């Protein structure tokens, strides 16, 4: 994996939002490439666009030489001292902003000053464009936008998509799919040649970074075993419908632990806020409303999910579904699990059934339905996988993604069939 990894989707988003008067907050799972995107890819773009390097003010707060700037007043003074007032834009990059600590406000008793005050002050200055990243659960929380009182623009970065992974892979790409579904798309993993070293890196990430961070940020040190057990259970349930009550019952029957469903729900929230997992809600296609429970949970990176289970449960059909979900989210779609209510008759009795569409995808005015069907070995399986799509009775685009490398085709009902690698490489 020797080629440079391109993150064009995120670079173009940064370019589009450049100098828009808002703080650009780059969020995402730890170690997914946020800092590299900002300090290398975007910086190189600015230099290529004739921005003078003296107008790019960069500070990586996790470098020990900058620890004095963990004080917000010191950070504010340092950055302002670097700003050049010559009519050209100054680009301010602050990495690991969460390391800045709140300090007492010397001018107002009982109040504090923190990194939000520094950043909001900078963005008000003429000719200053501010970009920040952060890497703990609080900073990565999906509520980050509220910290800046509507004065920020969020760029959410995910691990490598299959296309990014595939394009960066040098030489023989024959085993790209198997490598990706096993070890995922964390950028550093792609630089490790040995498979056992890849596995150890992912396991260490989970234990030394994500678990510790979630526990410390949410003060749940005494419940580490519960958090670990919950992660293992959710890892095994990728692509399956569940909810906090079902998970609570699993703890009672399997672990012999009486964990309340509200506790489970809170812990799941911690996992979502740190971007380890995402929840896909159920949506009634005909009724046009959400169904509160159950839901599906997907891992942001499959390598991390597999590492959680010691690479022992790699069912390709469920992992393929998760990869498709991640791809759709990276393309900017809101993704739900579709439910189609149908009525059948058996011996004069009406029978109501709920058919599932794996993904109902919305982006602006665009809507499409996607079914992840690992294989379609016979007509019966084909009808099973497509029935929910035909029962929607609407004209939105319908796609069935299969594992086999098939020639993309459309059947008589308008359903489009395509192999998963073609789909993920953007050949739809």
Domain coordinates of the chain in residue numbers? 8-157, 159-428
Record the tokens describing residue 408, joined without a space. 């993309």
Query: In 3D, which of 292, 176, 319, 297 has the Cα closest to residue 241?
Result: 297
**pLDDT for 427:** 57
Could you read off the pLDDT of 294-305 as tens digits, one per residue?
999 999 999 999
Average pLDDT over residues 410-419: 95
132 in Cβ contact with 26 (< 8 Å): yes
Q: Alpha-carbon distance 88 to 126, whole Å?
A: 10
The answer to whether the CB of 399 falls within 8 A of the CB of 418 is yes
H or E segment to which residue 60 belongs: strand 56-60
The sign of the CA dihedral 250, 256, 259, 260 is positive
Domain covering 8-157: architecture: 3-Layer(aba) Sandwich (3.40)
Is the pLDDT confidence value at 358 over 60? Answer: yes
End-to-end CA distance of the chain: 26
Query: Are 353 and 384 spatial neighbours (Cβ–Cβ below 8 Å)?
Result: no
Residues 6+ apart with CB under 8 A from 75: 59, 69, 94, 100, 115, 118
Q: Whole-structure pTM over 0.95, yes or no?
A: no
Residues 273-320: tens digit of each pLDDT: 888 999 999 999 999 999 988 999 999 999 999 999 999 988 899 999
Cβ proximity of 376 and 402 under 8 Å: yes
Q: Are 261 and 244 in contact (CB under 8 A)?
A: yes
- For residues 298 and 31, what is the distance between their CA atoms, to the nearest angstrom? 18
Read off the pLDDT of each residue in 101-109 and give the average, rounded to a whole number.
90
């Amino acid at each position: 994996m020797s080629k440079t990894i391109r993150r064009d989707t995120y670079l173009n988003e940064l370019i589009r939002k450049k100098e828009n008067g808002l703080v650009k907050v780059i969020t995402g799972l730890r170690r997914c490439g946020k800092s590299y995107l900002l300090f290398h890819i975007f910086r190189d773009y600015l230099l290529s666009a004739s921005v003078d390097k003296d107008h790019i003010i960069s500070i990586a707060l996790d470098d020990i030489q900058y620890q004095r700037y963990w004080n917000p007043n010191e950070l504010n003074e340092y950055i302002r001292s670097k700003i050049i007032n010559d009519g050209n834009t100054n680009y301010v990059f602050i990495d690991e902003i969460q390391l800045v600590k709140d300090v007492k406000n010397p001018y107002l008793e009982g109040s504090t000053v923190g990194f939000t005050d520094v950043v909001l002050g900078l963005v008000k200055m003429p000719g200053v464009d501010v970009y920040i990243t952060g890497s703990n659960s609080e900073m990565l929380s999906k509520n980050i936008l509220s910290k800046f009182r509507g004065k920020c623009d969020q760029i959410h970065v995910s691990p490598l998509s299959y296309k990014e992974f595939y394009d960066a892979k040098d030489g023989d790409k024959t085993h790209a799919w198997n490598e990706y579904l096993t070890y995922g798309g964390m950028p550093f993993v792609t630089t490790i040649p040995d498979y056992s070293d890849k596995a150890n890196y992912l396991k260490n990430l989970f234990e030394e970074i994500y678990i510790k961070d979630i526990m410390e940020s949410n003060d749940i040190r005494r419940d580490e075993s519960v958090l670990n057990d919950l992660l293992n259970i959710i890892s095994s349930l990728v692509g399956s419908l569940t909810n906090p009550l079902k998970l609570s019952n699993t703890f009672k029957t399997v672990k012999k632990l009486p964990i309340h469903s509200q506790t489970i729900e809170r812990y799941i929230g911690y996992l979502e806020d740190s971007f380890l997992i995402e929840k896909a809600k159920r949506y009634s296609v005909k009724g046009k409303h959400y169904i509160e429970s159950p839901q599906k949970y997907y891992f942001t990176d499959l390598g991390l999910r597999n590492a959680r289970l010691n690479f022992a449960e790699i069912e390709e059909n469920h992992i393929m579904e998760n990869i498709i979900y991640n791809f759709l989210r990276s393309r900017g779609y809101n993704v739900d699990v579709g439910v189609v209510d149908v009525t059948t008759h058996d011996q004069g009795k009406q029978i109501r059934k709920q058919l599932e569409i794996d993904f109902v995808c919305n982006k602006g005015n665009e809507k499409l339905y996607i079914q992840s069907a690992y294989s379609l070995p016979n007509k019966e399986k084909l009808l099973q996988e497509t029935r929910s799509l035909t029962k929607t009775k609407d004209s939105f685009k319908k796609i069935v993604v299969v594992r086999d490398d098939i020639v993309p085709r459309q059947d008589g009902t308008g359903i489009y069939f395509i192999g998963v690698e073609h789909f993920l490489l953007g050949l739809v």
